[in-house]
Structure 1
Amino acid sequence: MIVFISIMSVLTVGCGLGKGTAGDLPNNHGPNKQSDNNEVKEIHGMIENIDRLNLFVENVDSGKDDEVRLTRYTIEGDPIFHDLTYHDAKLTIKMDTTKDKFGQGEVTTNVCKGIQKQESDTETKYILEECPNLPELLTISHDVDKEDYFAFDLKYGIGKKNEIDTKKQVLKKDLQNGEFVDVSDFQFSKKELNAIYKWMVYSNYLNEKKLTKECNQKPYESYVLDVWINSGSRHFEWSECDKSDDGKEMTKLVHNILDVLKKNSIYQSLPKVKGDHE
């Protein structure tokens, strides 16, 4: 995994796996365990709890006092803390590198005017306004062109009868009356793939998830997601009944993928659902 991490300035965050296997991916322990509600984590290009940082940006924009912690981890696994506080129309950021064995080992404080979120098809930036010592807080890359290989296979719905497979370029739609529509040579546009990749990065998809396939209701939706990134892969299975943090995060990811799919012109040309599962 190639990662460029700076202490005094935050460089572009990417997600790339080299020639390693899935076993080389981050594990759900140490810095990779679930963030608390007021902490955002950046772990080698993956993001946890990004909605909390977005809420902080919204609160600053509306003049509402707020505070949040952004914790970034070096390639050695050492945390660098960024504590952001907005109070009386002033944004203060305290950066603590004392836990970084290879850093400067100090605590510095900067006062800024505000913070902005700038989003494009390939990256999302959080920019600190009038903060010369730390102008850029965080950059999240979601550009599939920067990866050697990216593909996914998602089976979803009642009985997992719907499928999006970008590896085999197959799209399958369950009309819910016993009929199916199959599309071969299906491809997303680069913009659509970047949007899907962005939601995967936001869901920290490389991290191990504690998921369950069990469900005590009928019918229920279930999901299987396989992701291939460079030489690594991830496999997930769960149901809509999984209300754990990981389960809700992964179900949200599926909904975001389907939002992209439903705007696709090929999908819009397919027949509408004709029935309803009992």
Structure 2
Amino acid sequence: MIRLLAFGILFLMAGCQDNEQAKTIELQENEPVSTDRVIDRNGEVENLALLHQFLKDTAENKQTSLELTRYTIEGAPIYWKVEYQEGEYSIEVDNREDNWGSKNIENYQCHELSEDVTGSLTDYNFKSCEDGYEINLLSVTNE
């Protein structure tokens, strides 16, 4: 009897999680395309011109910023804000809407943003970050 009750509770909890994921995916599909940020829907990247402008501005050592939304496989948004000033990148990653993430805002400082091309893929990676981190900003399939 206890096993049956425990199984019922687990089944109910699993159903609720699937329902939450379905709501997140539904919201993502109905969300209007934002033109003021780069959107990465699991490899389908929108507004890539904003990234290219950001790269151009940083190459010219101009103070600039970039906003990016990367969606998880389950459809949850993770918001990125990158600010560049005087050779330093300040990165804020907000994953509070990710059911499987740490649900917090993380901040990093990095000195380099590299463009690494491997075959048909270009990775934009932050390097020379505090505590030795290397952080992937975005991966884009070359056309």
TM-score, normalisation: structure 2:
0.71
Q: Which residue of 2 aligns with 1:36?
A: 35
Counterpart of 2:29, as a letter, is: H
Counterpart of 2:47, as a letter, is: N
1:78 to partner: Cα distance: 0.8
Q: In structure 1, which of residues 86, 96, 99 is the aligned counterpart of residue 97 of structure 2?
A: 99
Q: Which whole-Å CA distance do the structure 2 matches of 1:53 and 1:134 have between them?
A: 19
Q: Which residue of 2 aligns with 1:127?
A: 125
Counterpart of 1:138, as a letter, is: L
Report the more deviating stretch, 50-59 or 40-49: 50-59
Q: Which whole-Å CA distance do the structure 1 matches of 2:30 and 2:103 have between them?
A: 21
Q: Which residue of 2 aligns with 1:89?
A: 87
Q: Which whole-Å CA distance do the structure 2 matches of 1:29 and 1:136 have between them?
A: 25
TM-score, normalisation: structure 1:
0.38
1:1-278 mapped onto 2 (5 Å cutoff) = 29-31=29-31, 33-37=32-36, 39-131=37-129, 132-140=132-140, 142=141, 198-199=142-143
1:120 to partner: Cα distance: 4.2
Which ranges of structure 2 fall in alignment gaps of 5 or more residues?
Answer: 1-25
Query: Does the CA-based 8 Å contact 1:81-1:95 persist in structure 2?
Result: yes
Q: Which whole-Å CA distance do the structure 1 matches of 2:127 and 2:101 have between them?
A: 25
1:106 to partner: Cα distance: 0.7
Q: Which whole-Å CA distance do the structure 2 matches of 1:58 and 1:51 have between them?
A: 10
Q: Which whole-Å CA distance do the structure 2 matches of 1:90 and 1:59 have between them?
A: 13
Q: Which whole-Å CA distance do the structure 2 matches of 1:30 and 1:129 have between them?
A: 35
Q: Which whole-Å CA distance do the structure 1 matches of 2:134 and 2:97 have between them?
A: 19
Q: Which whole-Å CA distance do the structure 2 matches of 1:109 and 1:134 have between them?
A: 13
> Comparing both structures, which one devotes a greater share of its residues to strand?
2
Which of the two has higher C-alpha Rg?
1
Q: Deviations over 1:173-213 (max 9, x none)?
A: xxxxxxxxxxxxxxxxxxxxxxxxx33xxxxxxxxxxxxxx
Task: Return structure 1 stretches of 4+ with deviation > 4 angstroms.
Answer: none
Which ranges of structure 1 fall in alignment gaps of 5 or more residues?
Answer: 1-25, 143-197, 200-278
Pairwise CA RMSD? 2.2
Between the two proteins, the alignment pairs up a number of residues equal to 116
SS of 2:54's equivalent in the other structure is helix
Q: Which whole-Å CA distance do the structure 2 matches of 1:74 and 1:57 have between them?
A: 24
Q: Deviations over 1:201-249 (max 9, x none)?
A: xxxxxxxxxxxxxxxxxxxxxxxxxxxxxxxxxxxxxxxxxxxxxxxxx
